[in-house]
């Protein structure tokens, strides 16, 4: 396949997932068109310097999606997460799907979330569940990715590394499944390269399963710092973000879907464990923050 002659539209290109997917696609030889509200942001300028064509638009604005989808081969669809306010995620997902159909896009990859199959039971991820259902009934060729917790998210001092503490609302014995953003990008690239193989597939994504105590130990070993687990009170997390709090309550109750890491590693042998991610990039970022260098 001559990937370099085909364009993939990446929504949310300046976000964590979108950026990781854009980079993976560029490495695989695709042409990448990014879709974002602000093409003048630092993240947008960085992508443009790498060769990404940036288009300004809003997922709630079908006309801007139609313009961005002219001539594209595939679409990576990701929508603002629980930290984004006032976003109609369900409508955004429907808009992307409808536009992709209208422009006869070859393949759509939608980034959902692990546990979506339990949305009605747990009361979380209802928007993503609705988008998944809409895509499945649309008739379009699609792959649905359901990532577990991003390893990168634990660098956030609000619910992650803060000085020498690893602060999380997860209980010390809670088994947490984790995925590196770059692996999401690699798996999205695989789906676009082999749409027949991945058509109608739903992939639960995780590269490792650890308790927060084990995560703190791994951070200590790879950074040389004494990282200690500290439990974040659920009420405090609820004040920061009610949806996050609900998610951790489900996680602590051991009600979450479990990704099959061994099967996923057969598809993507380079799947990173938490230790491998730390040694590759995470540990350096933790040390930089602790030294005051961002």
Identify the structural domains of the chain with CATH numbers, from first to last: 3-148+180-206+258-271 (3.40.50.720)
Q: How high is the pLDDT of residue 149?
A: 94
Helix axes 42-49, 16-27, angle to 10 degrees: 0
Q: How high is the pLDDT of residue 1?
A: 42
Q: How high is the pLDDT of residue 4?
A: 45
Residue of 88, 24, 29 lying closest to 62 (CA atoms): 88
Question: Mapped to the 3 state alphabet, what secondary structure does the chain carry?
Answer: CCHHHCEEEEECCCCHHHHHHHHHHHHCCCEEEEEECCCCCHHHHHHHHCCCEEEECCCCCHHHHHHHCCCCCEEEECCCCCCCCCCCHHHHHHHHHHHHHHCCCCEEEEECCCCHHHHHHHCCCHHHHHHHHHHHCCCCCEEEEEECEEHHHHHCCCCCEECCEEEECCCCCCCEEEECHHHHHHHHHHHHHCHHHHCCEEEEECCEEECHHHHHHHHHHHHCCCCEEEECCHHHHHHHCHHHHHHHHHHHCCCCCCCCHHHHHHHCCCCCCHHHHHHHHHHHHHHHHHCCCC
Q: How high is the pLDDT of residue 2?
A: 42
Give 10-residue mean pLDDT values along the chain (294 residues).
Answer: 73 96 97 97 97 96 96 94 69 97 97 90 87 97 97 90 94 97 98 97 98 98 96 92 88 90 97 98 92 62
Whole-number Å distance between alpha carbons of 78 and 75: 10
Q: How high is the pLDDT of residue 284?
A: 96
CA angle 19-55-138, nearest 5°? 80
């Amino acid at each position: 396949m001559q990937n370099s002659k085909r364009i993939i539209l990446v929504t949310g290109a300046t976000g964590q997932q979108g950026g990781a997917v854009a980079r993976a696609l560029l490495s695989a030889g695709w042409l990448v068109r990014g879709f974002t509200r602000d093409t003048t942001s630092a993240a947008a300028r960085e992508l443009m310097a790498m060769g990404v064509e940036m288009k300004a638009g809003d997922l709630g604005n079908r006309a801007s999606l139609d313009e961005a989808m002219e001539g594209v081969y595939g679409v990576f669809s990701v929508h603002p997460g629980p930290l984004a306010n006032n976003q109609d995620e369900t409508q955004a997902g429907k808009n992307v799907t409808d536009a992709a159909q209208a422009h006869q896009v070859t393949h759509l990859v939608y980034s959902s979330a692990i546990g979506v199959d339990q949305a009605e039971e747990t009361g979380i991820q209802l928007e993503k569940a609705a988008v998944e259902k809409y895509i499945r009934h649309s008739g379009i060729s699609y792959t649905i990715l359901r990532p577990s917790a991003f390893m990168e998210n634990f660098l956030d001092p609000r619910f992650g590394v803060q000085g020498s503490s690893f602060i999380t609302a997860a209980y010390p014995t809670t088994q947490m499944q984790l995925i590196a953003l770059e692996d999401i990008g690699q798996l999205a690239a695989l789906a676009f390269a082999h749409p027949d193989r991945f058509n109608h597939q739903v992939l639960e994504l995780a590269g490792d399963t650890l308790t927060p105590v084990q995560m703190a130990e791994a951070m200590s070993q790879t950074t040389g710092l004494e990282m200690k687990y500290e439990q974040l009170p659920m009420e405090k997390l609820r004040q920061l973000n009610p949806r996050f709090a609900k998610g951790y309550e489900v996680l602590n109750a051991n009600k979450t879907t479990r990704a099959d890491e061994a099967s996923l590693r057969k598809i993507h042998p380079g799947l990173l464990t938490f230790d491998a991610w730390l040694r590759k990039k995470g540990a350096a970022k933790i040390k930089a923050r602790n030294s005051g260098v961002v």
